[in-house]
Amino acid sequence: KQEVTQIPAALSVPEGENLVLNCSFTDSAIYNLQWFRQDPGKGLTSLLLIQSSQREQTSGRLNASLDKSSGRSTLYIAASQPGDSATYLCAVNDYKLSFGAGTTVTVRA
């Protein structure tokens, strides 16, 4: 059974600092990995989808890397802003989506 772990569980940074969010998974036989953002009480917004054959994917200030062999992905958010405050979930697709517990980010103005 796929196990997905996200570290840290919570993170508080001053505005402008870069964010580094980690995700690890136990079974490397995956199709892809997806990073989501969730605001309190809301649905999931897809941020980045990275295929198993890719090493990284970028969108604006966001960059996600994937090392399938070691079962790790990292989401980098450059120059954080208060609007980036949310919970970030990684989800591994190995036919079903398996989610990590998320990292709750607070960016202080």
Chain residues that interact with another protein, rule: CB under 8 A = 31-32, 34, 36, 41-46, 49, 51, 89, 91, 93, 95-97, 99-102
Give the shortest CB-61-to-another protein separation in angstroms.
19
The three-state secondary structure class of 27 is coil
Q: Which is nearer to another protein, 29 or 79 (CB)?
A: 29
Q: Which is nearer to another protein, 38 or 74 (CB)?
A: 38
Return the percent helix, strand and coil in the chain, to nearest 5: 5, 60, 40
Q: Which is nearer to another protein, 41 or 60 (CB)?
A: 41
Buried b / exposed e over 3-16, threshold 16 CB at 10 Å, is: ebebeeeebebeee
